[in-house]
Chain A
């Protein structure tokens, strides 16, 4: 049995710890140890992006990061994006514009989009498609995903122009 090491991370605002083998992938730490099964695994080749989460504020593929390398980091998974009662604008956008069919890719797509929208709340269609380069959707043909992202960006811009602005669009809510 390989040696285990302690790992401590802040996930969706909560401190969590586990003892892990160095070979444990971050996606398995999230799914199997912390029961956050919103983060999906869709491939073995680091290409599909279904496993995308925010790691210290950046969209990354959690299947290509060792859990032990994330020690001390802050992570936001799709569960931390919004709550059922108060959807995140990205979730609202995907809902209202039908940005999904089977939904398997959707958590990762939304986190990749989160990575884009936190840098740029007014992306062009080309920029949106570029940001979707690291995710694969087998159903939608991307057309409705692009529409959903455009709608989400609009919702975020509206919120930000209101007097009570969104405190933190990336780490709101916690359903874990």
Chain B
């Protein structure tokens, strides 16, 4: 289908994009890779008045290392991140997750910043961002701001991003050395999105005591979440099969599961537990 009519402007810099967002008074919509937005516009679910194209702002591309974090420019595409030596060296789990996003063609266009800013409850990166203590870099009228991912995501397609701000980068904590990390996904058979996706990052001491653990889950509910009960249960315990299996039972504790034609909420809860157990075994045993 063909989108409804809209006007189009291209922003050459971050300040220009912010100025344009201000000028259009909430009627302007940012477009980056367009691979979430254009499909929605084709179905006329989203009908923006004006698109503000930020896809050519070069300063928002690329990966850098700042202390214990990798900072990924918002406009870095999945394909660019996959080919990046810093990602390969410090954050192979990001590459592991990206390889599970859509297909070759989509990965050539979709951006890391777009994935996080869109806050699709079935998108993959939010789970990983939660497990890697990600911080969203935002620039707006009042300057720069850094928002932890947990405060940034707050509902289906809802974020804490102010109307006249843009996401400039997302930084991910490099997992502790000697730690392990993984992202496991149960693919929706038709759309390829996550029915459930579980990211886990963990480290244990020489005698097997878990001293760092993060579990992020996407797909299952209205919004990606951290499985805090799993983390609390495991922290300070030894990494045994029994502990892992008990912890995994808590994966969807106190979280409302989504429900649709494909997967009931009971089934999603079950998948959360199974995929959490598998991810924990991978990073802890």
Name A's B-contacting residues (CB within 8 A). Answer: 2-3, 5, 21-23, 25, 28, 44-47, 49, 52, 55, 58-61, 63-66, 68-69, 112, 115-116, 130-131, 133-135
Contacts and interface: CB of A to CB of B under 8 A. Distances in A.
Contact of A2 (B5, B35, B104, B106): B5
Contacts of B31: 66, 69
Given A44-B43, A64-B109, A69-B53, A21 B35 contact: no
Nearest to A113: B104
B39 A64 contact: yes
27 contacts: A2-B5, A22-B5, A22-B7, A23-B3, A23-B41, A25-B38, A44-B43, A58-B108, A59-B105, A59-B108, A60-B108, A64-B39, A64-B106, A64-B109, A65-B38, A66-B8, A66-B31, A66-B34, A66-B38, A66-B51, A69-B53, A112-B104, A112-B105, A131-B104, A133-B104, A134-B105, A134-B106
B207 interface: no
Contacts of A134: 102-106
Interface string B38-57: 11011100000001010100
A21 B42 CA distance: 14
Contacts of A52: 105
A112 B105 CA distance: 7
B194 to A, nearest CB: 15
Contacts of B1: 44
**Could you say which of B41, B42, B79, B191 has the most chain A C-beta atoms within 10 Å of its C-beta?**
B42
Contacts of A45: 39
Interface string B98-119: 0000111110110000000000
Given A44-B42, A66-B34, A59 B104 contact: yes
**Could you say which of B55, B103, B105, B108 has the most chain A C-beta atoms within 10 Å of its C-beta?**
B105
A34 B75 CA distance: 30
Contact of B34 (A5, A49, A65, A116): A65
B234 to A, nearest CB: 33
B246 to A, nearest CB: 36
A61 B105 contact: yes
Contacts of B106: 46, 61, 64, 134
**Could you say which of B1, B34, B104 has the most chain A C-beta atoms within 10 Å of its C-beta?**
B104
Given A64-B34, A65-B34, A115-B104, A21 B109 contact: no
B262 interface: no
Contacts of A2: 5-7
Nearest to A59: B105
A25 B39 CA distance: 11
A61 B109 CA distance: 9
Contacts of B206: none
Contacts of A5: 8
B89 interface: no
A82 B146 CA distance: 50
Closest A-B pairs by Cβ, 6 of them: A134-B103, A22-B8, A133-B103, A2-B5, A58-B108, A134-B105
A3 B102 CA distance: 34
A49 B19 CA distance: 36
B23 interface: no
Contacts of A28: 2
Contacts of A3: 7
